[in-house]
Amino acid sequence: MEVLLFGLVAEHAGTDRLVLEASTLEGLRSSLEERIPQLANLSYATAVDRSVVHGDMPLTGSEEIAVLPPFAGG
C-alpha cells in the first residue's frame, strides 16, 4: 500500500511516499520505523482515510495512509 509522508517525516525518508505491505496499522508502524529509523525519536501520528488513528486496526490495503509529524498551522 502507498503511504504518504509529510514535513519532517518526508525529509527523514528522502521521499514523500513509500510502498509498504502490512495487514494491521501496528504492523505498518513497525515497517515504517524500520524504513525511517528517526521515527522512533519523533512524535508522529498516523492517519487512515484522513482521520488520525491512535491504536491498532486491520488494513485491507485500499486505505489512504499518511504519516504526520507535529502540526504547525497558524
Partner 1 sequence: MSESPKHSVKDIFVDGPIDPAFIATSIAKHATRMDIGAHEIFLGQVRADPVITPSPAEVRQQVTAIEYTAYRPMALERMTAIREEAFTKWPTMTCLHVHHSLGVIPAGQLCFMVFASAPHRIAAREAVAWVVDRIKAELPIFGREILSDSTHLWKTNL
Q: How far is the CB of 51 from partner 1 (least distance, A)?
A: 8
Nearer to partner 1, 44 or 59 (CB): 44
Q: How far is CA 71 from the centre of its chain?
A: 14
Q: How far is the CB of 48 from partner 1 (least distance, A)?
A: 10
* CA 60-6-45 angle, 5° bins: 60
Task: Give the Cα separation of 59 and 53 in Å (integer).
Answer: 12
Q: Is 14 in the site for partner 1 (CB under 8 A)?
A: no
Instruction: Looking at residues 48 to 67 of the shown chain, list those that interact with partner 1 (rule: CB under 8 A).
Output: 50-51, 64, 66
